[in-house]
Structure 1
């Protein structure tokens, strides 16, 4: 396979993904607007993309800013050349949860499919769930979302992406299935585990939000219980996070 270009190479997923690709001796090139050691291009303007894509066989599109992702994807796909394959990193439930950010991701999925690209959907990263748990327990009375989550270790998603990248050398259009965390956990249990690990004593109250978005979460639209492929549990993540002093 020719060079692999990774967008979002300096992000939460991009950093471990670059390490995984390197460990597999795959020729990987990171893309960033200005970070040293990477190809430089701007996905929002398209400037520099042609040069960054030179000699590339596969693009792993992991960049996101949550606001202008469709424009970035349009520019990237427009700059790609015939024969270059794209593997897009998406989120489980983008077709079922009417969150504006998810709608963007689903629109990009449609664009990627029309080009014959591949998509890997993952459930919520541990880091995101951790940020949510910290915010919901900042006050003396904490809250927990009255729905379930399925947190997954970002490094395990990076490993799966690297596996798919290696497979694409032999099969340019493999079936890429969802990748979920090892356990579906109710929000109450997730927050309790966090407060215990953080040493925070909190009375916890349920957080219920009216509307279609939260109803879709309560219905499990963001979960993939039949694709529980991750191995690192929420408690494993918390133990490592607090052991490092975070």
Structure 2
């Protein structure tokens, strides 16, 4: 059944994949953006255009992220969402276990979404984010890697699951993780190999509860390894099409 779906963060890392994926499944999709052409214009910071953008949508997928403004922008969005509309919030695995300030903010948003009757999908780190870490930390002749593991997931896999939730009923809270838990060293070595680079790598360890949370695997969901695209498949695809 065709649904009318509004996607916030339509020009972001996930939104750029999610909008066409939903359209390919036959849905009437509107992307929300402050100014990008081809999208519905609305500003989650000021509220301008948000009631008009939300009006008429069966489902709102809230994929926008705005750093320290996330709680305020989500509140702005919620003021325009009716009880008969299905709000789906994209969160992060581990927001309740890793004491990163950004994660704590996301966790508070989750409580608000749950109270409003919305759905929450927590994803592990996207391939692109881990790739950015690998690129930056191995740029110098001596490379570094964080001394913990990742479970990177493909945005296409996350988009597929979000589409399924949009088409179905409410999902109170669900984790969605990449297919493999891998040490950062292993991931970075694969990145260097496929990029045709060679670097000695040394572990990066930091004190404190945040790094400890990552080392303990608070951001992982090995029992929810539902993604299908491996790290090597992502790297090979990116090497073939760097854009």
Normalising by structure 1, what TM-score? 0.95
* Counterpart Cα distance in 1 of 2:143 and 2:68: 29
Unaligned runs of 5+ in 1: none
* Counterpart Cα distance in 2 of 1:244 and 1:50: 38
**Who is 1:76 aligned against?**
77
**Who is 1:34 aligned against?**
35
* Counterpart Cα distance in 2 of 1:98 and 1:110: 16
For residues 164-175 of structure 1, the aligned pairs below 5 Å read: 164-167=165-168, 171=169, 173-175=170-172
The answer as to 2:204 corresponding to 1:207 is yes
**Who is 1:241 aligned against?**
238
Alpha-carbon distance, 1:175 to partner:
4.7
* Counterpart Cα distance in 1 of 2:171 and 2:178: 22
Equivalent pairs counted in the alignment come to 242
* Counterpart Cα distance in 1 of 2:69 and 2:47: 13
The answer as to 2:206 corresponding to 1:193 is no
Q: Does the CA contact (< 8 Å) of 1:2 and 1:55 recur in 2?
A: no
**Who is 1:48 aligned against?**
49
Structure 1 window deviating more from structure 2 (15-24 vs 90-99): it is: 15-24
Q: Does the CA contact (< 8 Å) of 2:154 and 2:227 recur in 1?
A: yes
**Who is 1:110 aligned against?**
111
**Who is 2:13 aligned against?**
12
Equivalent position SS for 1:4? strand
* Counterpart Cα distance in 2 of 1:72 and 1:174: 22
* Counterpart Cα distance in 2 of 1:138 and 1:90: 30
Instruction: Report runs of 4+ in structure 1 exceeding 6 Å deviation.
Output: none
Alpha-carbon distance, 1:35 to partner:
1.1
Alpha-carbon distance, 1:214 to partner:
0.3
* Counterpart Cα distance in 2 of 1:92 and 1:4: 24
**Who is 2:215 aligned against?**
218
Distance 1:182 1:128, change over 3 A: same
Question: Could you report, residue by residue, the CA deviation over 1:70-107 in whole angstroms, capped at 9, with x for unpaired residues?
Answer: 11001000122231221000000000001111111111
The answer as to 2:16 corresponding to 1:22 is no
What is the CA RMSD across the aligned residues, in angstroms?
1.2
Q: Does the CA contact (< 8 Å) of 2:8 and 2:61 recur in 1?
A: yes
